[in-house]
């Protein structure tokens, strides 16, 4: 059977003993996709559909997959955005974990925040023009909405005519989004996933930097100020454990993998870069 081929499943519903009670728990994994062509070039990406770079593919293979398989994590369903970098990472992971049959549920509401008219710009070029403080406010400020995308932006038409966004309801297609707006659009998907997790389904959410931060805020209930300081590196699985009877978190989030590597990559994501 698959279970005997892979050994005991780490993220099967578990029974954890606390001081006097036994608690049934289930885990959820959140993962940011591998590096995209735009991450490598240090460009704002948002709703532009940049594919994984060769390095991003390697990152999925050498960072995400070993971390998941060493912890014997397996999945019943994967949630992804409609953007290629998230879907491609999900497919790579499922195929390498020998479970390509697991369904991938794509949802436009899990897309990266729309970076407005910054889309396609190099972060360093924007910092040279507007200052690092303004760039960090646009990148991390909870309520800071970047300038709306304009028709003159070379990605305007490729984004607004991309059929992957056909499910976006009329009137909800953004011109730019803050982290706060992203937190709000992710909320209904998070509610659905939470119900599935509490029913015992093993879920992987293969998403984007800002969406992962939105999920962290929903899950951990941290303040708007605290979430501005959270940065999510590519391909590092972040594992949460939930108490199935109370729905509450058991312990803190765990980032799987080499902790020194994770610290270095997190610092790189926080920085504006060259």
Work out how close the CB of 116 gets to ligand X15 at its nearest, in angstroms, rounded to a whole number: 11
Structure tokens at 202: 């093993």
Residue 209 assigned ligand-binding role:
no
Among 112, 208, 218, 241, the one annotated catalytic: 112
The residue with its CB nearest to ligand X15 is 45
Residues in contact with ligand X15 by CB under 6 A are: 32, 36, 39, 44-46, 112, 115, 139, 208-210, 269
Work out how close the CB of 14 gets to ligand X15 at its nearest, in angstroms, rounded to a whole number: 30
Residue 71 assigned ligand-binding role:
no
> Is the Cβ of residue 123 or residue 218 nearer to ligand X15 in the bound state?
123
Work out how close the CB of 149 gets to ligand X15 at its nearest, in angstroms, rounded to a whole number: 13
Work out how close the CB of 47 gets to ligand X15 at its nearest, in angstroms, rounded to a whole number: 8
28: Cα within 13 Å, side-chain hemisphere = 30
Residue 115 assigned ligand-binding role:
yes
Q: Please, which residues bridge with residue 77 across strands?
A: 203
226/117 Cα distance (integer angstroms): 26
Residues contacting residue 101 through CB under 8 Å, at least 6 positions apart:
none
228 counts as catalytic:
no
Residue 32 assigned ligand-binding role:
yes
> Is the Cβ of residue 198 or residue 269 nearer to ligand X15 in the bound state?
269
Work out how close the CB of 45 gets to ligand X15 at its nearest, in angstroms, rounded to a whole number: 3
Q: Please, which residues bridge with residue 36 across strands?
A: 52
112 counts as catalytic:
yes
Quickly count: other Cβ atoms within 10 Å of residue 167's Cβ. Answer: 12
Name residue, tokens 């070029």.
125
248/191 Cα distance (integer angstroms): 14
Output helix, strand, coil percentages for the chain, rounded to the nearest 5.
Answer: 45, 15, 40
Residue 34 assigned ligand-binding role:
yes
According to DSSP H, which parts of 101-178 are helical? 123-130, 132-140, 156-160
Quickly count: other Cβ atoms within 10 Å of residue 196's Cβ. Answer: 17
Residue 140 assigned ligand-binding role:
yes
> Is the Cβ of residue 214 or residue 244 nearer to ligand X15 in the bound state?
214
> Is the Cβ of residue 26 or residue 88 nearer to ligand X15 in the bound state?
88
Closest listed residue to residue 241, CA positions, set 200, 190, 192 = 200
210/231 Cα distance (integer angstroms): 9
> Is the Cβ of residue 132 or residue 243 nearer to ligand X15 in the bound state?
132
Could you tell me which residues are annotated as the binding site for substrate? 32-39, 85, 112-115, 123, 139-140
Could you tell me which residues are annotated as the binding site? 32-39, 85, 112-115, 123, 139-140
Annotated catalytic sites, by residue? Answer: 33, 112
């Amino acid at each position: 059977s698959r279970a005997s081929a892979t050994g005991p499943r780490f993220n099967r519903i578990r029974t954890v003993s606390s001081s006097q009670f036994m608690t049934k728990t289930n885990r959820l994994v959140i993962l940011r996709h591998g590096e995209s062509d735009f991450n490598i070039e240090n460009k704002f990406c948002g709703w532009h559909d940049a594919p994984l770079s060769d390095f991003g593919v390697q990152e999925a293979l050498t960072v995400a997959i070993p971390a998941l398989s060493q912890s014997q994590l397996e999945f019943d369903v994967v949630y992804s955005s409609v953007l290629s970098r998230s879907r491609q990472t999900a497919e790579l992971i499922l195929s390498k974990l020998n479970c390509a049959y697991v369904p991938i549920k794509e949802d436009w509401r899990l897309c990266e925040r729309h970076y407005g008219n910054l889309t396609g710009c190099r972060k360093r070029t924007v910092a040279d023009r507007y200052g690092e403080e303004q760039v960090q406010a646009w990148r991390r400020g909870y309520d800071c909405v970047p300038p709306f995308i304009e028709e003159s932006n070379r990605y305007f038409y490729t984004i607004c005519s991309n059929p992957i966004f056909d499910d976006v309801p009329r009137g909800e297609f953004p011109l730019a989004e803050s982290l706060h707006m992203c937190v709000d659009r992710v909320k209904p998907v998070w509610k659905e996933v939470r119900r599935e997790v509490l029913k015992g389904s093993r879920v992987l959410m293969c998403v984007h930097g800002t969406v992962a931060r939105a999920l962290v805020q929903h899950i951990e209930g941290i303040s708007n100020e605290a979430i501005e300081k959270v940065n999510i590196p590519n391909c590092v699985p972040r594992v949460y454990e939930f108490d199935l009877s109370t729905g509450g978190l058991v312990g803190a989030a765990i980032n799987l993998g080499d902790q020194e590597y994770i610290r270095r990559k997190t610092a790189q994501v926080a920085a504006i870069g060259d």
